[in-house]
Protein backbone atom coordinates (compact mmCIF):
# COMPACT_ATOMS: atom_id res chain seq x y z
CA UNK A 1 0.00 0.00 0.00
CA UNK A 2 1.16 3.55 -0.76
CA UNK A 3 1.71 6.12 1.90
CA UNK A 4 -1.53 7.96 2.88
CA UNK A 5 -1.84 11.48 1.43
CA UNK A 6 -3.16 14.48 3.35
CA UNK A 7 -3.88 17.62 1.34
CA UNK A 8 -3.72 21.09 2.83
CA UNK A 9 -5.65 23.87 1.12
CA UNK A 10 -4.23 26.96 2.79
CA UNK A 11 -2.08 30.06 2.54
CA UNK A 12 1.69 30.26 2.64
CA UNK A 13 3.51 31.76 5.64
CA UNK A 14 6.87 33.19 4.62
CA UNK A 15 7.96 32.93 8.26
CA UNK A 16 7.50 29.16 8.15
CA UNK A 17 5.53 28.84 11.38
CA UNK A 18 1.93 28.65 10.18
CA UNK A 19 -0.09 27.98 7.05
CA UNK A 20 1.04 25.49 4.41
CA UNK A 21 4.54 25.31 5.88
CA UNK A 22 3.25 24.30 9.32
CA UNK A 23 0.75 21.87 7.80
CA UNK A 24 3.32 20.01 5.70
CA UNK A 25 5.74 19.66 8.63
CA UNK A 26 2.97 18.35 10.87
CA UNK A 27 1.52 15.94 8.31
CA UNK A 28 4.94 14.39 7.77
CA UNK A 29 5.47 14.18 11.54
CA UNK A 30 2.24 12.18 11.84
CA UNK A 31 3.26 9.68 9.17
CA UNK A 32 1.29 10.83 6.13
CA UNK A 33 2.52 12.43 2.90
CA UNK A 34 1.72 16.12 2.67
CA UNK A 35 0.43 17.74 -0.52
CA UNK A 36 -0.78 21.32 -0.93
CA UNK A 37 -3.02 23.72 -2.79
CA UNK A 38 -1.77 27.23 -2.00
CA UNK A 39 -4.59 29.75 -1.66
CA UNK A 40 -2.55 32.86 -0.90
CA UNK A 41 0.93 34.24 -0.42
CA UNK A 42 1.66 36.24 2.71
CA UNK A 43 4.65 38.39 3.60
CA UNK A 44 4.59 37.33 7.22
CA UNK A 45 6.86 36.84 10.21
CA UNK A 46 6.49 36.43 13.97
CA UNK A 47 5.34 40.03 14.40
CA UNK A 48 2.51 39.99 11.87
CA UNK A 49 1.35 39.98 8.25
CA UNK A 50 2.92 42.71 6.10
CA UNK A 51 1.16 41.91 2.85
CA UNK A 52 -0.94 39.20 1.23
CA UNK A 53 -1.93 38.21 -2.31
CA UNK A 54 -4.60 35.62 -3.07
CA UNK A 55 -4.20 32.86 -5.63
CA UNK A 56 -6.43 32.87 -8.71
CA UNK A 57 -9.47 30.69 -7.80
CA UNK A 58 -9.03 28.64 -10.98
CA UNK A 59 -5.48 27.81 -9.92
CA UNK A 60 -6.73 26.68 -6.51
CA UNK A 61 -9.14 24.29 -8.24
CA UNK A 62 -6.41 22.96 -10.52
CA UNK A 63 -4.00 22.37 -7.63
CA UNK A 64 -6.61 20.27 -5.81
CA UNK A 65 -7.51 18.34 -8.96
CA UNK A 66 -3.86 17.75 -9.83
CA UNK A 67 -3.18 16.13 -6.47
CA UNK A 68 -6.41 14.11 -6.50
CA UNK A 69 -5.91 12.76 -10.00
CA UNK A 70 -2.34 11.56 -9.52
CA UNK A 71 -1.45 11.05 -5.85
CA UNK A 72 -4.97 10.51 -4.57
CA UNK A 73 -6.15 12.17 -1.36
CA UNK A 74 -7.03 10.30 1.85
CA UNK A 75 -7.97 13.40 3.86
CA UNK A 76 -7.79 17.17 3.47
CA UNK A 77 -7.79 20.28 5.58
CA UNK A 78 -8.47 23.91 4.85
CA UNK A 79 -6.78 26.92 6.39
CA UNK A 80 -6.50 30.49 5.17
CA UNK A 81 -8.85 30.95 2.18
CA UNK A 82 -8.21 34.67 1.56
CA UNK A 83 -11.55 35.75 0.04
CA UNK A 84 -14.97 34.55 -1.04
CA UNK A 85 -13.90 33.52 -4.56
CA UNK A 86 -11.02 31.36 -3.34
CA UNK A 87 -13.19 29.92 -0.53
CA UNK A 88 -15.90 29.07 -3.07
CA UNK A 89 -13.39 27.33 -5.36
CA UNK A 90 -12.10 25.22 -2.46
CA UNK A 91 -15.64 24.44 -1.30
CA UNK A 92 -16.71 23.36 -4.80
CA UNK A 93 -13.90 20.80 -4.91
CA UNK A 94 -14.02 19.57 -1.33
CA UNK A 95 -17.79 19.38 -0.90
CA UNK A 96 -17.89 16.58 -3.46
CA UNK A 97 -14.89 14.73 -2.00
CA UNK A 98 -15.20 11.16 -0.78
CA UNK A 99 -12.51 11.67 1.89
CA UNK A 100 -12.61 13.37 5.33
CA UNK A 101 -12.24 17.16 5.38
CA UNK A 102 -11.03 19.15 8.38
CA UNK A 103 -12.03 22.81 8.26
CA UNK A 104 -9.82 25.25 10.15
CA UNK A 105 -11.79 28.48 9.64
CA UNK A 106 -8.85 30.89 9.63
CA UNK A 107 -10.29 34.37 9.93
CA UNK A 108 -7.82 36.40 11.99
CA UNK A 109 -4.07 35.83 12.48
CA UNK A 110 -2.71 35.53 16.03
CA UNK A 111 -1.26 39.01 15.56
CA UNK A 112 -4.80 40.38 14.93
CA UNK A 113 -4.48 40.73 11.15
CA UNK A 114 -7.64 39.72 9.28
CA UNK A 115 -7.09 36.82 6.86
CA UNK A 116 -10.60 36.24 5.46
CA UNK A 117 -13.25 38.68 4.20
CA UNK A 118 -16.78 38.73 5.59
CA UNK A 119 -18.07 37.33 2.29
CA UNK A 120 -15.52 34.56 2.66
CA UNK A 121 -16.85 33.79 6.15
CA UNK A 122 -20.28 33.29 4.64
CA UNK A 123 -18.90 30.77 2.13
CA UNK A 124 -17.19 28.85 4.93
CA UNK A 125 -20.40 28.84 6.95
CA UNK A 126 -22.72 27.88 4.13
CA UNK A 127 -20.53 25.70 1.87
CA UNK A 128 -17.61 24.26 3.80
CA UNK A 129 -19.13 23.48 7.19
CA UNK A 130 -21.66 21.02 5.70
CA UNK A 131 -18.68 19.15 4.17
CA UNK A 132 -16.62 19.14 7.38
CA UNK A 133 -15.74 15.94 9.17
CA UNK A 134 -14.40 18.26 11.86
CA UNK A 135 -14.27 22.03 12.23
CA UNK A 136 -11.56 23.49 14.50
CA UNK A 137 -12.26 27.17 15.30
CA UNK A 138 -10.69 29.10 18.13
CA UNK A 139 -13.08 30.97 20.41
CA UNK A 140 -13.28 34.21 18.33
CA UNK A 141 -13.79 32.21 15.11
CA UNK A 142 -16.52 30.12 16.72
CA UNK A 143 -18.29 33.33 17.75
CA UNK A 144 -18.06 34.75 14.21
CA UNK A 145 -19.47 31.59 12.66
CA UNK A 146 -22.26 30.93 15.17
CA UNK A 147 -23.04 34.16 16.97
CA UNK A 148 -22.49 32.35 20.29
CA UNK A 149 -20.23 34.31 22.64
CA UNK A 150 -17.47 31.96 23.84
CA UNK A 151 -15.95 32.88 27.19
CA UNK A 152 -16.08 29.55 29.05
CA UNK A 153 -15.87 25.84 28.23
CA UNK A 154 -19.66 25.66 28.59
CA UNK A 155 -19.95 28.37 25.93
CA UNK A 156 -17.61 26.33 23.74
CA UNK A 157 -20.00 23.37 24.01
CA UNK A 158 -22.90 25.58 22.91
CA UNK A 159 -20.86 26.93 19.98
CA UNK A 160 -19.83 23.41 19.02
CA UNK A 161 -23.45 22.29 18.97
CA UNK A 162 -24.32 25.27 16.77
CA UNK A 163 -21.50 24.35 14.38
CA UNK A 164 -22.94 20.85 14.11
CA UNK A 165 -26.36 22.35 13.39
CA UNK A 166 -24.69 24.26 10.53
CA UNK A 167 -23.65 20.90 9.06
CA UNK A 168 -20.28 19.95 10.52
CA UNK A 169 -20.05 16.35 11.74
CA UNK A 170 -18.09 17.46 14.83
CA UNK A 171 -16.37 20.52 16.26
CA UNK A 172 -13.23 21.16 18.30
CA UNK A 173 -13.43 24.65 19.80
CA UNK A 174 -9.99 25.67 21.05
CA UNK A 175 -9.54 27.78 24.17
CA UNK A 176 -6.14 29.38 23.81
CA UNK A 177 -7.73 32.84 23.57
CA UNK A 178 -9.68 32.42 26.82
CA UNK A 179 -8.47 33.30 30.32
CA UNK A 180 -7.36 30.76 32.89
CA UNK A 181 -4.34 28.80 34.11
CA UNK A 182 -5.26 25.93 31.77
CA UNK A 183 -6.03 25.88 28.06
CA UNK A 184 -9.32 24.02 27.57
CA UNK A 185 -10.24 22.73 24.11
CA UNK A 186 -13.75 21.31 23.80
CA UNK A 187 -14.68 18.50 21.42
CA UNK A 188 -18.35 18.22 20.49
CA UNK A 189 -19.20 15.15 18.43
CA UNK A 190 -20.12 11.60 19.36
CA UNK A 191 -19.54 12.83 22.90
CA UNK A 192 -18.52 16.08 24.60
CA UNK A 193 -14.96 16.01 25.86
CA UNK A 194 -12.56 18.56 27.31
CA UNK A 195 -8.83 18.54 26.62
CA UNK A 196 -6.94 20.47 29.32
CA UNK A 197 -3.29 21.47 29.23
CA UNK A 198 -1.24 23.89 31.35
CA UNK A 199 -1.05 27.37 29.91
CA UNK A 200 2.59 28.09 29.05
CA UNK A 201 3.51 31.63 30.01
CA UNK A 202 4.98 33.53 27.06
CA UNK A 203 4.58 30.46 24.86
CA UNK A 204 5.90 30.38 21.32
CA UNK A 205 2.55 29.34 19.86
CA UNK A 206 2.50 30.79 16.35
CA UNK A 207 0.87 28.26 14.03
CA UNK A 208 -0.80 26.27 16.81
CA UNK A 209 -4.21 26.17 15.12
CA UNK A 210 -2.76 25.10 11.78
CA UNK A 211 -0.70 22.42 13.49
CA UNK A 212 -3.70 21.01 15.38
CA UNK A 213 -5.93 20.73 12.32
CA UNK A 214 -3.13 19.32 10.14
CA UNK A 215 -2.39 16.63 12.72
CA UNK A 216 -6.06 15.59 12.73
CA UNK A 217 -6.13 15.47 8.92
CA UNK A 218 -2.96 13.37 8.81
CA UNK A 219 -4.37 10.79 11.21
CA UNK A 220 -7.68 10.67 9.35
CA UNK A 221 -5.69 10.02 6.18
CA UNK A 222 -3.98 7.15 7.98
CA UNK A 223 -7.36 5.61 8.74
CA UNK A 224 -7.74 6.53 12.41
CA UNK A 225 -11.19 7.42 13.69
CA UNK A 226 -12.02 11.04 14.44
CA UNK A 227 -11.81 10.85 18.24
CA UNK A 228 -8.44 9.12 18.21
CA UNK A 229 -7.15 11.62 15.64
CA UNK A 230 -8.22 14.50 17.91
CA UNK A 231 -6.57 12.88 20.94
CA UNK A 232 -3.29 12.46 19.05
CA UNK A 233 -3.43 16.00 17.69
CA UNK A 234 -3.98 17.45 21.16
CA UNK A 235 -1.00 15.52 22.53
CA UNK A 236 1.17 16.65 19.61
CA UNK A 237 0.20 20.28 20.16
CA UNK A 238 0.94 20.22 23.90
CA UNK A 239 4.48 19.09 23.11
CA UNK A 240 4.84 21.48 20.16
CA UNK A 241 3.90 24.49 22.30
CA UNK A 242 5.95 23.39 25.32
CA UNK A 243 9.04 23.31 23.09
CA UNK A 244 8.17 26.18 20.76
CA UNK A 245 11.02 27.84 18.87
CA UNK A 246 12.35 31.08 20.33
CA UNK A 247 12.68 32.79 16.95
CA UNK A 248 11.96 36.34 15.85
CA UNK A 249 10.85 39.44 17.72
CA UNK A 250 7.22 38.37 18.15
CA UNK A 251 5.52 35.10 19.06
CA UNK A 252 7.74 32.30 17.83
CA UNK A 253 6.47 29.17 16.04
CA UNK A 254 5.56 25.92 17.72
CA UNK A 255 7.95 22.99 17.34
CA UNK A 256 6.07 20.89 14.78
CA UNK A 257 8.57 18.02 14.97
CA UNK A 258 8.96 17.94 18.78
CA UNK A 259 7.54 14.42 18.98
CA UNK A 260 9.97 13.14 16.39
CA UNK A 261 12.85 14.83 18.20
CA UNK A 262 11.90 13.11 21.47
CA UNK A 263 11.90 9.70 19.78
CA UNK A 264 15.13 10.42 17.91
CA UNK A 265 16.87 11.50 21.12
CA UNK A 266 15.64 8.53 23.17
CA UNK A 267 18.55 6.15 22.30
CA UNK A 268 21.06 8.76 23.49
CA UNK A 269 19.15 9.26 26.75
CA UNK A 270 18.91 5.50 27.35
CA UNK A 271 22.63 5.09 26.70
CA UNK A 272 23.37 7.93 29.14
CA UNK A 273 21.31 6.22 31.86
CA UNK A 274 23.10 2.91 31.36
CA UNK A 275 26.53 4.59 31.49
CA UNK A 276 25.59 6.47 34.65
CA UNK A 277 24.26 3.37 36.38
CA UNK A 278 27.48 1.50 35.58
CA UNK A 279 29.51 4.36 37.04
CA UNK A 280 27.43 4.20 40.24
CA UNK A 281 27.85 0.45 40.73
CA UNK A 282 30.82 0.90 43.06
CA UNK A 283 31.32 0.41 46.82
CA UNK A 284 32.05 4.13 47.19
CA UNK A 285 28.41 4.87 46.31
CA UNK A 286 26.91 2.74 49.09
CA UNK A 287 26.59 5.60 51.63
CA UNK A 288 24.55 7.59 49.07
CA UNK A 289 21.91 4.92 48.38
CA UNK A 290 18.58 5.70 50.10
CA UNK A 291 16.52 3.02 51.82
CA UNK A 292 14.06 3.16 48.92
CA UNK A 293 16.89 2.86 46.39
CA UNK A 294 18.28 5.28 43.78
CA UNK A 295 16.76 6.17 40.42
CA UNK A 296 18.67 7.81 37.57
CA UNK A 297 16.67 9.65 34.89
CA UNK A 298 17.64 11.49 31.69
CA UNK A 299 15.15 13.51 29.62
CA UNK A 300 15.32 13.55 25.81
CA UNK A 301 15.37 16.99 24.22
CA UNK A 302 11.60 17.48 23.90
CA UNK A 303 10.22 15.25 26.67
CA UNK A 304 6.88 16.26 28.17
CA UNK A 305 5.66 13.18 30.07
CA UNK A 306 7.23 10.43 32.22
CA UNK A 307 6.88 7.97 29.34
CA UNK A 308 9.38 10.07 27.36
CA UNK A 309 12.05 9.99 30.08
CA UNK A 310 14.79 7.35 30.13
CA UNK A 311 15.44 5.81 33.56
CA UNK A 312 16.93 2.72 35.16
CA UNK A 313 14.68 -0.33 35.36
CA UNK A 314 14.56 -0.99 39.07
CA UNK A 315 16.38 1.13 41.63
CA UNK A 316 20.02 0.90 42.56
CA UNK A 317 20.34 -0.73 45.98
CA UNK A 318 23.08 -1.56 48.47
CA UNK A 319 24.30 -5.14 48.33
CA UNK A 320 27.18 -6.88 50.14
CA UNK A 321 30.31 -5.38 48.68
CA UNK A 322 28.78 -2.44 46.86
CA UNK A 323 25.82 -1.23 44.78
CA UNK A 324 23.84 -3.03 42.10
CA UNK A 325 21.09 -2.19 39.63
CA UNK A 326 18.57 -4.98 38.92
CA UNK A 327 17.94 -4.07 35.29
CA UNK A 328 18.86 -1.91 32.34
CA UNK A 329 17.26 1.32 31.13
CA UNK A 330 13.88 2.02 29.57
CA UNK A 331 11.60 4.90 28.66
CA UNK A 332 8.93 5.40 31.29
CA UNK A 333 10.75 3.30 33.90
CA UNK A 334 10.46 6.11 36.45
CA UNK A 335 7.50 8.17 37.55
CA UNK A 336 8.87 9.86 40.67
CA UNK A 337 12.22 11.27 39.49
CA UNK A 338 10.91 11.71 35.94
CA UNK A 339 8.11 13.96 37.19
CA UNK A 340 10.57 16.04 39.18
CA UNK A 341 12.82 16.37 36.15
CA UNK A 342 9.93 17.38 33.89
CA UNK A 343 8.63 19.81 36.50
CA UNK A 344 12.03 21.48 36.72
CA UNK A 345 12.30 21.61 32.93
CA UNK A 346 9.05 23.55 32.69
CA UNK A 347 11.01 26.41 34.26
CA UNK A 348 14.60 25.63 33.27
CA UNK A 349 15.09 23.74 30.00
CA UNK A 350 18.83 23.44 30.66
CA UNK A 351 18.27 20.58 33.14
CA UNK A 352 18.17 17.11 31.58
CA UNK A 353 19.38 14.63 34.22
CA UNK A 354 18.46 13.82 37.82
CA UNK A 355 18.83 11.22 40.55
CA UNK A 356 18.02 10.83 44.23
CA UNK A 357 20.53 10.14 47.03
CA UNK A 358 20.33 9.51 50.74
CA UNK A 359 19.81 12.55 52.98
CA UNK A 360 22.17 11.51 55.79
CA UNK A 361 24.02 14.21 57.72
CA UNK A 362 27.24 13.31 55.90
CA UNK A 363 25.63 13.49 52.47
CA UNK A 364 23.87 16.76 53.25
CA UNK A 365 27.12 18.29 54.48
CA UNK A 366 28.92 17.16 51.32
CA UNK A 367 26.17 18.58 49.13
CA UNK A 368 25.66 21.86 50.96
CA UNK A 369 29.38 22.50 51.13
CA UNK A 370 29.93 22.40 47.37
CA UNK A 371 26.67 22.72 45.43
CA UNK A 372 23.95 25.28 44.93
CA UNK A 373 21.16 23.92 47.16
CA UNK A 374 17.45 24.60 47.56
CA UNK A 375 15.24 23.10 50.27
CA UNK A 376 11.65 21.96 50.24
CA UNK A 377 9.41 21.14 53.23
CA UNK A 378 7.09 18.31 52.23
CA UNK A 379 5.02 18.76 55.37
CA UNK A 380 3.70 21.89 53.63
CA UNK A 381 2.49 19.98 50.57
CA UNK A 382 -1.26 20.63 50.11
CA UNK A 383 -3.66 17.70 49.92
CA UNK A 384 -4.83 18.73 46.46
CA UNK A 385 -1.33 18.94 44.92
CA UNK A 386 -1.14 17.28 41.49
CA UNK A 387 1.81 15.17 42.71
CA UNK A 388 4.66 15.47 45.18
CA UNK A 389 7.38 15.92 42.58
CA UNK A 390 5.31 18.36 40.51
CA UNK A 391 4.65 20.39 43.66
CA UNK A 392 8.28 20.27 44.81
CA UNK A 393 9.59 21.43 41.43
CA UNK A 394 7.07 24.26 41.25
CA UNK A 395 7.80 25.32 44.81
CA UNK A 396 11.56 25.42 44.37
CA UNK A 397 11.71 26.90 40.88
CA UNK A 398 9.16 29.63 41.61
CA UNK A 399 11.21 30.68 44.62
CA UNK A 400 14.33 30.83 42.46
CA UNK A 401 12.73 32.70 39.52
CA UNK A 402 13.06 29.67 37.26
CA UNK A 403 16.78 28.94 37.81
CA UNK A 404 17.27 25.32 38.84
CA UNK A 405 19.55 24.53 41.80
CA UNK A 406 22.13 21.75 41.64
CA UNK A 407 20.47 19.93 44.54
CA UNK A 408 17.10 19.89 46.28
CA UNK A 409 17.16 18.86 49.94
CA UNK A 410 13.89 17.38 51.16
CA UNK A 411 13.47 16.76 54.91
CA UNK A 412 10.76 14.18 54.32
CA UNK A 413 7.39 13.85 56.04
CA UNK A 414 5.32 11.22 57.81
CA UNK A 415 6.02 7.95 56.02
CA UNK A 416 8.31 9.69 53.50
CA UNK A 417 12.07 9.23 53.64
CA UNK A 418 14.19 12.41 53.65
CA UNK A 419 15.96 12.75 50.31
CA UNK A 420 18.47 14.79 48.33
CA UNK A 421 17.79 15.05 44.62
CA UNK A 422 20.63 16.12 42.35
CA UNK A 423 20.06 17.92 39.03
CA UNK A 424 22.37 18.53 36.09
CA UNK A 425 22.41 19.70 32.49
CA UNK A 426 23.48 16.26 31.26
CA UNK A 427 24.28 12.77 32.48
CA UNK A 428 28.04 13.31 32.45
CA UNK A 429 27.74 16.32 34.75
CA UNK A 430 25.35 14.39 37.00
CA UNK A 431 27.86 11.52 37.29
CA UNK A 432 30.68 13.89 38.18
CA UNK A 433 28.49 15.68 40.71
CA UNK A 434 27.28 12.53 42.45
CA UNK A 435 30.69 10.82 42.49
CA UNK A 436 32.15 14.04 43.89
CA UNK A 437 29.63 13.89 46.76
CA UNK A 438 30.63 10.25 47.37
CA UNK A 439 34.31 11.21 47.53
CA UNK A 440 33.62 13.98 50.05
CA UNK A 441 31.50 11.69 52.19
CA UNK A 442 34.25 9.04 52.19
CA UNK A 443 36.89 11.65 53.05
CA UNK A 444 34.81 12.97 55.94
CA UNK A 445 34.19 9.50 57.33
CA UNK A 446 37.89 8.60 57.00
CA UNK A 447 39.09 11.75 58.80
326: CATH: 3.40.225.10
Q: Do both 177 and 291 map to the same domain? A: no
Q: In which band, very low, low, confident or very high, does the pLDDT at 384 lie, cut at 50, 70 and 90? A: low
290 and 236 share a domain? no
Residues 327 and 351 in one domain: yes
- Banded pLDDT at 261 (limits 50, 70, 90): very high
Are the C-beta atoms of 297 and 332 separated by less than 8 Å?
no
Q: Are residues 279 and 334 in the same domain?
A: yes
- Residue 98 has a pLDDT of 94
Same domain, 283 and 415: yes
Task: Answer yes or no: do 403 and 387 share one domain.
Answer: yes
CATH code assigned at 129: 3.40.1190.20
Q: How far apart are CA 277 and CA 292, in angstroms?
A: 16
The reply to whether 212 and 285 lie within a common domain is no
**Listed residues 223, 256, 289: the one ending a domain:** 256
**pLDDT, position 113:** 60
Beta pairing partners, 410: 376, 419
**CA 418, 420, 426 angle in degrees (round to 5)?**
155
Both 268 and 251 in one domain: the answer is: no
Q: What pLDDT shows up at residue 413?
A: 73
Distances (CA, A) of 52 to 13, 83, 89, 144, 389: 10, 11, 18, 22, 48
Neighbour-count burial of 98, counting CB atoms closer than 10 A to its CB (0-12 exposed, 13-18 middle, 19+ buried):
exposed
* 312 shares a domain with 363: yes
The pLDDT, as a whole number, for residue 313 is 95
Adjacent-strand bridge partners of 103: 78, 135
252 burial (CB, 10 Å; 0-12 / 13-18 / 19+) is: buried
| Residue that terminates a domain, selected from 217, 232, 256 | 256
- Last residue of a domain, which of 256, 280, 303? 256
The answer on 310 and 229 residing in a single domain is no
On average, the pLDDT of the chain sits at 92
283 and 158 in a common domain: no
Per residue in 18-76, pLDDT (tens digit) is 999 999 999 999 999 999 999 999 999 999 889 989 999 999 999 999 999 999 999 99
* pLDDT single digits (tens) 63-102: 999 999 999 999 999 999 989 999 999 999 999 999 999 9
Distance CA 150, CA 397 (A): 34
Cα 307 off chain centre by: 13
**What is the domain extent for residue 205?**
5-256
CB within 8 Å of 220: residues ≥ 6 apart: 6, 74, 75, 100, 102, 133, 226, 229
Model pTM?
0.87
CB 29 within 8 A of CB 233: no
> Does 40 lie in the same domain as 144?
yes
Spatial contact of 26 and 218, defined as CB atoms under 8 Å apart? yes
Number of domains in the chain: 2
Q: What is the dihedral of CA 151, 152, 155, 157, to 10 degrees?
A: 140
In three-state secondary structure terms, 271 is helix
Cite the beta strand spans of 113-191 per DSSP E: 134-135, 171-173, 182-188
C-beta of residue 240 within 8 angstroms of C-beta of residue 205: no
Q: What is the C-alpha separation between 184 and 101, in angstroms, rounded?
A: 23
Q: Are 363 and 369 in contact (CB under 8 A)?
A: no
Amino acid sequence: MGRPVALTVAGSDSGGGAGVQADLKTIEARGAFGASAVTALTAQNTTGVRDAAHTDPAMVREQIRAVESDLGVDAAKTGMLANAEVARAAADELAAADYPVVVDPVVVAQSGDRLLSEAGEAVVRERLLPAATLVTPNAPEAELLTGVAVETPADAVAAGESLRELGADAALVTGGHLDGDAVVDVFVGEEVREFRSPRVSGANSHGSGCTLSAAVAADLARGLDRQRAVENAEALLVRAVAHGHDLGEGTGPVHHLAGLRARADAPRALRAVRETVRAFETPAMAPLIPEVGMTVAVAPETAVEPGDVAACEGRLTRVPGGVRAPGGAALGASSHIARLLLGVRQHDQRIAAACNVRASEAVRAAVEGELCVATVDRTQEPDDAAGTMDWAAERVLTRRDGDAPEAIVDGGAHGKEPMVRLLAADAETLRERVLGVAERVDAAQSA
